[in-house]
Amino acid sequence: MAGSLPPCVVDCGTGYTKLGYAGNTEPQFIIPSYWDLMERFMEQVVFKYLRAEPEDHYFLMTEPPLNTPENREYLAEIMFESFNVPGLYIAVQAVLALAASWTSRQVGERTLTGIAEGYVIGSCIKHIPIAGRDITYFIQQLLREREVGIPPEQSLETAKAIKEKYCYICPDIVKEFAKYDIDPRKWIKQYTGINAINQKKFIIDVGYERFLGPEIFFHPEFANPDFMESISDVVDEVIQNCPIDVRRPLYKPEFFQVCHTKKDYEEYGPSICRHNPVFGVMS
């Protein structure tokens, strides 16, 4: 029965958990994460939101790059013993993002991760103090400096909406400024928002913010004076720190994924989640 039904996908983030079924283009539900009572939380996920019989579905769940083996074992115990799932695959969030975007490196959650054969190279994970929220804050700051008339209580939401709707990465920041100065009608966009308090509409022009927001990844000093290393330099450093025999595959979209079944769990116990079949070691 489990093979004929789509696997359940549960992406447990720090703040929010995304739920759905494999094959869908987007999550069906996004709910706040609750880590203190994980078993009760998963009951809500499986029965209230997904409305699934866990015995009939394989489960794909996510973990951060440096998640401890003990946490992984605890999750396996819950899924196999409490929910009796037929199979479980715990994937690193960076690996799944890599597979979804077909790129060779992953930046997110303030880390840059080297991945070989579908597995994270733990010694090469690099922390960076800049992430998507910093782009939002930087755009918010730029809009405040321009004094475009955004209601104060809407400034953060407006900056986030502009980031998601209009921002892009430019190859040459000087040429990009020139483009906007030469033909502003072509490049400047208008954003329409609604004041959450009085329900009045407001309209603002979105100009340089479109490319200056993402630019903090390449010029981090714009947002964080204490961090001067651009993301391109960090990427190069991560790849150079990887073992020499896996540097080349980092530029190729190759993946190797293994699902642990109920039979594996009953034979080896929770420690099966520590096994790395590619490198033949226990994590």
HEC string of the chain equals CHHHCCCEEEEECCCEEEEEECCCCCCCEEEECCCCCHHHHHHHHHHHHCCCCHHHCCEEEEECCCCCHHHHHHHHHHHHHHCCCCEEEEEEHHHHHHHHHCCCCEEECCEEECEECCEECHHHCEECCCCHHHHHHHHHHHHHHHCCCCCHHHHHHHHHHHHHHHCCCCCCHHHHHHHHHHCHHHHCEEEEEECCCCCCEEEEEECCHHHHCHHHHCCHHHCCCCCCCCHHHHHHHHHHHCCHHHCHHHHCCCCCCCCEEHHHHHHHHHHHHHEECCCCEEC
pLDDT score recorded for residue 66: 73
Mean pLDDT of all residues in the chain? Answer: 80
pLDDT score recorded for residue 3: 62
pLDDT score recorded for residue 182: 94
Section 103-107 average pLDDT: 42
CB 253 within 8 A of CB 96: no
**Range 121-126 contact pairs with CB under 8 angstroms and sequence separation of 24 or more:** 121/242, 121/243, 121/246, 122/65, 122/66, 122/283, 123/241, 124/238, 124/239, 124/241, 124/242, 125/65, 125/66, 125/238, 126/234, 126/237, 126/238
Q: Which CATH class is domain 132-222?
A: alpha beta
CA–CA distance, 102 with 255 (Å, rounded to integer): 10
pLDDT score recorded for residue 106: 41
* Cα distances (angstroms) measured from residue 243 to each of 131, 248, 257: 27, 10, 21
77-91, 158-172, 212-226, 239-253: the lowest-pLDDT one: 239-253
26-35, 85-94, 245-254: the lowest-pLDDT one: 245-254
pLDDT score recorded for residue 268: 53
Instruction: State which amino acid sits at residue 58.
Output: Y
Virtual torsion, Cα 65, 69, 74, 78, nearest 10 deg: 60
For residue 250, what pLDDT band results from cuts at 50, 70 and 90? low
For residue 269, what pLDDT band results from cuts at 50, 70 and 90? low
**Paired strand residues for 266:** none
Chain centre distance of CA 132:
10
pLDDT score recorded for residue 8: 93
CB atoms within 10 A of CB 124: 21
Section 113-139 average pLDDT: 78
CB 148 within 8 A of CB 205: yes
pLDDT score recorded for residue 119: 66
Pick the more confident residue, 240 or 182: 182
33-47, 95-109, 205-219: the lowest-pLDDT one: 95-109
For residue 108, what pLDDT band results from cuts at 50, 70 and 90? very low
According to the per-residue pLDDT averaged within each range, which of 101-110, 153-162, 226-235 is highest? 153-162
Q: Which fold has domain 2-128+245-282?
A: Nucleotidyltransferase; domain 5 (3.30.420)
132-222 and 2-128+245-282 share a CATH fold? no
pLDDT score recorded for residue 257: 39
| Domain residue extents for the chain | 2-128+245-282, 132-222
**Paired strand residues for 194:** 201
